[in-house]
């Protein structure tokens, strides 16, 4: 497959009154053309900051990319001037934000908002841009596009507004689409429709997709690979099956355990104990150690490297060291994995 994006040793920090927040700390990943990579983790894990860095949207000040490279088609986006990024943003790389109401201008028709990108990047005239806007609304499943193109955001439901935002992102046929929590504010029925829409669009355009979410359950039927983030780092990465059916990092165990069971038999939901660390003063060793019931002495002293499980599966946990004691995932996690496998077979 053709490599579309490569992120190398990315560090992003923000200056605050309390000190420097080390929001992203040495992130590495790749994305192939036509592939979907899901980045999952709790709020504050660095997912959205990573996505904004890819778009060149880190406000400076107070934020800055301290180190690393973002190679898109071989070009390092971190080295480009803002004027050059404006030629890439929206045209080559586009983003779907979490809340459509913050992405849409209430004083403009949705058609004019879609047409902005077409006229800027594609140099279309008014008539061609208007026709293309109607085509895009139809593509994302909005009925009566010839009428809806002249309506305003408040005349659309939440799910339809999110479809408009997707249409705007797709307007210039980007090769990389970043979806930052695109279904969080939607009910489960609309959520499923939006996810199915994104899969369908990817088949038609062969775009690479980075899907940002805190909900592992959302990515099961969307992603090809999953990267699990915690405290500004990727702690495990693998195919969907490897992450769901053979997880190795205790944090991934906790995320899986906190998902509702497929059969709805949970009496109560599991919650990972404790809270994420203060990234003004990142902890020594494994950042998850304080919340990890399986933590060993070394976890509090030395940060674990990425251990290779397979050619596609890596995890940063000392449990994978050859000299580590053989600790299996807790029974709760093993039961959840068995439930998911059974549900997958039955589905």
| Portions of the chain given CATH number 3.40.50.300 | 3-227
pLDDT at position 324 is 93
pLDDT at position 57 is 93
Residue 274 has pLDDT above 90, yes or no: yes
HSE at residue 45, side-chain half, CA atoms within 13 A, is 22
As a whole number, mean pLDDT of residues 132-144 equals 91
Give per-residue pLDDT as tens, 303-315: 999 999 999 999 9
CA dist., res. 237 & res. 215, Å (int)? 16
Query: Is residue 158 very low, low, confident or very high in pLDDT (cuts 50, 70, 90)?
Result: confident
Beta carbons within 10 angstroms of residue 236's beta carbon: 28
pLDDT at position 120 is 87
Averaged pLDDT score across all residues of the chain: 90
- Residues 192 and 141: beta-carbon distance below 8 Å: no
Which 3-state string (H, E, C) describes the chain? CCEEEEEEEEEEEEEECCEEEEEEEEEEEEEECCCEEEEECCCCCCHHHHHHHHHCCCCCCCEEEEEEEEEECCEEHHHCCHHHHHHHECCCEEEECCCHHHHCCCCCCHHHHHHHHHHHHCCCCHHHHHHHHHHHHHHCCCCCHHHHCCCCHHHCCHHHHHHHHHHHHHCCCCCEEEEECCCCCCCHHHHHHHHHHHHHHHHHHCCEEEEEECCHHHHCCCCCEEEEEECCEEEEEEEHHHHHHCCCCHHHHHHHHCCCCCCCCCCCCCCCCCCCCCCCCCCCCCCCHHHCCCCCHHHHCCCCCCEECCCCCEECCHHHCCCCCCCCCCHHHHHHHHHHHHHHHHC
Residue 182 has pLDDT above 90, yes or no: no
Query: Is residue 196 very low, low, confident or very high in pLDDT (cuts 50, 70, 90)?
Result: confident
pLDDT at position 264 is 64
Which span out of 98-102, 144-148, 187-191 was modeled with the highest average pLDDT? 144-148
As a whole number, mean pLDDT of residues 51-58 equals 94
Cα distances from 46 to residues 22, 231, 280, in angstroms, run: 9, 7, 13
What is the token pair recorded at 252?
């991934």
- Residues 66 and 72: beta-carbon distance below 8 Å: no
Residue 346 has pLDDT above 60, yes or no: no
Burial class (CB in 10 A: 0-12, 13-18, 19+), 28: middle
Query: Is residue 347 very low, low, confident or very high in pLDDT (cuts 50, 70, 90)?
Result: low
- Residues 140 and 170: beta-carbon distance below 8 Å: yes
Give per-residue pLDDT as tens, 237-253: 999 999 999 999 999 99
What phi and psi, each to the nearest 5 degrees, are found at residue 7? -105, 125
Torsion of CA 232, 238, 239, 243, to 10 degrees: -80
Write down the CATH number for the domain with range 3-227.
3.40.50.300
Least confident interval from 28-32, 68-72, 324-328: 324-328
Residue 103 has pLDDT above 70, yes or no: yes
As a whole number, mean pLDDT of residues 196-214 equals 87
As a whole number, mean pLDDT of residues 52-76 equals 94
Of residues 268 and 18, the one with the higher pLDDT is 18
Query: Can you say how many angstroms the Cα of residue 40 is from the centroid of all Cα atoms in its chain?
Result: 6
- State pTM to two decimals: 0.91
Query: Can you say how many angstroms the Cα of residue 96 is from the centroid of all Cα atoms in its chain?
Result: 10
What is the token pair recorded at 215?
């909900």
- Given the structure tokens 């293309």, which residue do they identify? 132
Residue 175 has pLDDT above 80, yes or no: yes
Residue 216 has pLDDT above 60, yes or no: yes
Which span out of 95-99, 221-225, 229-233 was modeled with the highest average pLDDT? 229-233
Residue 1 has pLDDT above 80, yes or no: no
**To the nearest whole percent, how much of the chain has pLDDT over 70?**
96
User: Long-range CB contacts (< 8 A, 24+ apart) of 181-188?
Assistant: 181/48, 181/98, 181/212, 181/213, 181/214, 182/96, 182/97, 182/98, 182/211, 183/213, 183/218, 184/98, 184/213, 184/214, 184/215, 185/98, 185/99, 185/100, 185/158, 186/158, 186/159, 186/162, 187/159
pLDDT at position 301 is 97
Residue 329 has pLDDT above 80, yes or no: yes
């Amino acid at each position: 497959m053709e490599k579309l994006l490569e992120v190398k040793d990315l560090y992003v920090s923000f200056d605050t009154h309390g000190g420097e927040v080390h929001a992203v700390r040495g992130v590495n990943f790749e994305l192939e053309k036509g592939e979907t990579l899901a980045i999952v983790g709790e709020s504050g894990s660095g997912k959205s900051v990573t996505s904004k860095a890819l778009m060149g949207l880190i406000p400076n000040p107070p934020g800055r990319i301290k180190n690393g490279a973002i190679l898109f088609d071989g070009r390092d986006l971190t080295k480009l001037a803002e004027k050059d990024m404006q030629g890439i943003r929206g045209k080559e790389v586009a983003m779907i934000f979490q809340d459509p109401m913050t992405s849409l201008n209430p004083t403009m028709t949705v058609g004019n908002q879609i047409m902005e990108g077409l006229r800027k990047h594609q140099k279309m005239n008014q008539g061609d841009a208007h026709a293309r806007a109607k085509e895009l609304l139809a593509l994302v499943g909005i009925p009566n596009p010839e009428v809806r193109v002249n309506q305003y955001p408040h005349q659309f439901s939440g799910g339809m507004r999110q479809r408009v935002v997707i249409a705007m992102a797709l307007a210039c046929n980007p090769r990389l689409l970043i979806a930052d929590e695109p279904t969080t504010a939607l009910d489960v029925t609309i959520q499923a429709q939006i996810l199915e829409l994104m899969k369908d669009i990817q088949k038609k355009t062969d775009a690479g997709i980075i899907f940002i979410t805190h909900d592992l359950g959302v990515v099961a039927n969307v992603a090809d690979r999953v990267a699990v983030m915690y405290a500004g780092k990727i702690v495990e990465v693998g195919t969907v099956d490897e992450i769901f059916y053979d997880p190795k990092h205790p944090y991934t165990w906790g995320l899986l355990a906190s998902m509702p069971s497929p059969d709805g038999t949970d009496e109560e939901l599991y919650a990972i104990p404790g809270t994420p660390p203060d990234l003004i003063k990142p902890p020594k060793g494994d950042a998850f150690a304080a919340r990890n019931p399986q933590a060993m002495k070394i976890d509090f002293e030395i940060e674990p490297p990425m251990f290779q499980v397979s050619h596609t599966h890596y995890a940063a946990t000392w449990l994978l060291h050859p000299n580590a004691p053989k600790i299996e995932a807790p029974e709760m996690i093993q039961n959840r994995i068995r439930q998911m496998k059974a549900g997958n077979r039955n589905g």
